[in-house]
Amino acid sequence: MDTSNPASSRSAPPLCRLDDIPDGGARAVDAVLPEGAANLMLLRRGGQVQAYLNICPHTGRQLDYAPGKFLLKGNTVICAVHGATFNQADGLCIAGPCRGEHLREVAVLLEDGEVRLA
């Protein structure tokens, strides 16, 4: 989670409230990034949120098995399509067809209980 320059985020609408993401869980949200609309996977650990594009680098398909439902095991996320396994902390694929590749991280910050694009 990026906490630099929080004043610049106030123009960005909130993606969701921190409490909308189960602690130790994930949630999908839509966002508008500089390159266009995207679906994001938000992962929460306590008061920290990590965000990645909800896209597997292997096939370009979404990681969730149903809208907003992710396969989480320990500190990993598993792609529902081909079983690629990614570290939640850094997005590195540690098993499966795209081993060594990364999920694309999206910088977010937490401000007044809301998750926003940084």
H or E element, residue 18: none
Would the pTM of this model clear 0.75, i.e. be above it? Answer: yes
In single-letter form, the type of residue at position 30 comes to D
Residues in the chain: 118
Q: Which of 63, 55, 98 has its CA nearest to residue 80? A: 63
Expressed in percent and rounded to 5, the helix, strand and coil fractions of the chain are 10, 45, 50
- What residue ranges define each of the domains in the chain, with the CATH number in brackets? 6-117 (2.102.10.10)
Q: What is the pLDDT along the chain (118 residues), one digit of tens a residue?
A: 444 444 444 568 999 999 999 999 999 999 999 999 999 999 999 999 999 999 999 989 999 999 999 999 999 999 999 999 999 999 999 999 999 999 999 999 999 999 999 9
